[in-house]
Chains A and B, each alone.
Chain A
Amino acid sequence: MGWVVLIVILVVIFLPLGWLIAIYNALVRLRNAVKNAFSQIDVQLKRRYDLIPNLVETVKGYAAHERETLEAVTKARQQAIDVSGLDSVKDRARVENMLTQTLKSLFAVSENYPDLKANENFLKLQEELTTTENKISFARQFYNDSVMELNNKTEMFPSNIIAGMFSFKQAEFFEVEEEAERKAPEVKF
């Protein structure tokens, strides 16, 4: 009889405890996943900053009078670097999207220059930037999925109780702004 009571007490204590630990660990895992996913985006954004000066130089050699487009790219890059130290995901997303747009128009313009398109260095840079753009968007995709999972867990019962107890915060999405996506970049000098 005594044994049964003991076992019941143990179960009553340890079952919820095990469950609590499991949820806590799941939350930690998700938080780390979000952090890790963001650093993936960061790596690719930095890679893009590094590639752009080279690209601008190469294009200049063949299409010097596309000055406006070139300067827009350089400016957008500088802006992106300026806010890259900030913590606000939203601000960073905004400038990075702008940079994406200016790059797109630069590649669109380069289509008019057959000599440039035949340049091996340019082709290399084009592939490099295409893959970096893709990596940024895939890393963002994975980051947003991870954020979604974390945010769901912090909102849904019963994990929200534990999230509240240990102050797990919701993470910010890295959004592609529809507005920026649609509008062609404005360039004024």
Chain B
Amino acid sequence: MWEQIRSNQRKSSILVVVMAFLLLAIGWFGGEGFYGPGGGTGGLIVASIVWIFLTLISYFSGDSIFLSISGARKIKREDHEVLWNVVEEMKIASGMARMPAVYIVDDPTPNAFATGRSPDKASVAVTTGLLERLTRSELQGVIAHEIGHIRNRDVLYMMMIGVMIGAIALLADIGVRMLFFGGRGRRRTSSEGGQAQAIIMIVSIVLMILAPIIAQIVYFAISRKREYLADASASQFTRYPEALASALEKISGSIRKPSKDAEKVNRIIAPSYIINPTLAARGNGEKANLFSTHPPTKERVRILRAMASGAGVGDYDVAFRQVTGNPVGVIPFRSLETAEKVEIKKPDEIPSEKHIDRVRQSTDAIWRLNKYTFIPCDCGTKLKVPPKLQGQRIMCPHCGGKHDVSSWL
């Protein structure tokens, strides 16, 4: 298990270095190409500054920006006990030292994501739609997947690589603009060295066009692989792959076409969700291409259901190879060597669990987050009082009993 995380970290560091080279190459060639010999240094400096600046921002406030864009609200245990408990259970199962912050997004579309640069500073967010649709054990599967991302350090690396892609795209954009609108006048036009200059120019143009595309393809490939790994971790933590499988089916089955506003938000957050909402809505959940952030949901479900021998990451690897026909597998070799037998264990169902109760719990959580006061009336009605009625006396609409709003704070 932990071998796998370390091996991932090594691979990701290599990727970060490669991307950094690509970024600096763009800077150098760009400067050299558009400002003539010697311009490369300036280009390098610009590229580094853009990169460092973006990295610092995303490292220190990436998660809070992310959470605020998605409209996530931080909850306490009382706000939604089941969700809090499930997160705590998965925290224990994964051996994390600290409880991640828990967030709820008021959105009927079921989805979930994790963020935070390290396991100690992690956050898990789920939508109200998810809370309403999934059973407790399905919710556990989804949370386990997110905790898997956190434990595998996916969030940090995907963020760092995402920033790099952003920087590359930005520089390429600046370069293309300069090509058409500026810089030209300052370019040296003497005949000697003109040929070398022309070559550099061509290289830089090619780089500007190709680099962003290459970077994205690499990013998406890594992202897909990490989704599989998080699924494998989820199964290892819960010991019950079926829960995640049926949760994935429910989520992908109920994603509708997002609104215009949601679409904008989704472009930033989509890759982090457990199922990419923009792609799922376009019916792309079945086939992955070079530009998919997530593997096809149907395949993920099939792999989880094919785990017959056990619930460990090793068993996931066997199922993965069987379903995809990919002989390499998805789990790094060294973690398989030490993988022990992990038996599948069906959790006890809670017989009295009902859809209506889940809806009530999640709407109650939103009421509470909006600072509504809950007043239980003697007639059995639960009054939800908006914050502006604070300090007033109100009447129960059912029995006419009077209540002081402040006394129930």
Contact = CB atoms under 8 A, between A and B. Distances in A.
Nearest to B140: A134
Interface stretch (B200-208, B281-289, B343-351): B343-351
A40 B92 contact: yes
Given A37-B95, A142-B93, A131 B88 contact: yes
Nearest 6 A-B pairs (CB), nearest first? A131-B85, A138-B93, A138-B92, A134-B89, A142-B95, A139-B92
Given A135-B89, A139-B93, 4 more contacts: A104-B348, A123-B352, A134-B140, A146-B95
B350 A130 contact: yes
B340 interface: yes
Given A37-B95, A142-B92, A126 B350 contact: yes
Nearest to B345: A137
Interface of A: 33, 37, 40, 44, 104, 111, 117, 123-124, 126-127, 130-131, 133-135, 137-139, 141-142, 145-146, 148-149, 152
Nearest to B376: A120
B224 interface: no
Interface string B318-356: 000000000000000000001010000101101110000
B173 interface: no
Interface of B: 1, 81-82, 85-86, 88-90, 92-95, 136, 140, 237, 239, 338, 340, 345, 347-348, 350-352, 357
Contacts of A37: 95
A111 B352 contact: yes
A33 B94 CA distance: 12
13 contacts: A124-B81, A127-B85, A130-B85, A131-B89, A134-B85, A134-B89, A135-B88, A138-B90, A138-B92, A139-B93, A141-B93, A142-B92, A146-B95
Given A127-B81, A127-B85, A111 B92 contact: no
Contacts of B93: 138-139, 141-142
A189 B88 CA distance: 39
Contacts of B1: 145
B239 A127 contact: no
Contacts of B237: 138
A40 B136 CA distance: 22
A142 to B, nearest CB: 5
A131 B93 CA distance: 12
Contacts, number: 52
A141 B81 contact: no
Nearest to A118: B352
Most central of A104, A139, A145 by chain B CB within 10 Å: A145
A130 B347 CA distance: 10
Given A111-B351, A141-B239, A148-B340, A127 B92 contact: no
Given A37-B95, A134-B347, A142-B95, A117 B352 contact: yes
Contacts of B85: 127, 130-131, 134
B326 to A, nearest CB: 27
B1 to A, nearest CB: 7
A33 B347 CA distance: 26
Nearest to B137: A134
A139 B90 CA distance: 10
Nearest to A108: B351
Nearest to B85: A131
Nearest to A144: B340
A152 B92 contact: no
A137 B92 CA distance: 10
Contacts of B86: 131
A127 B82 contact: yes
A154 B95 CA distance: 21
B243 to A, nearest CB: 12
Nearest to A136: B92
Contacts of A133: 348
B338 A152 contact: yes
A135 to B, nearest CB: 5
Contacts of A127: 81-82, 85
Contacts of A149: 338
B251 to A, nearest CB: 22
B140 to A, nearest CB: 8
A139 B91 CA distance: 9
A6 to B, nearest CB: 33
Contacts of B357: 123
B353 to A, nearest CB: 10
Nearest to A122: B352
Contacts of A146: 95
A109 B45 CA distance: 72
B349 to A, nearest CB: 10
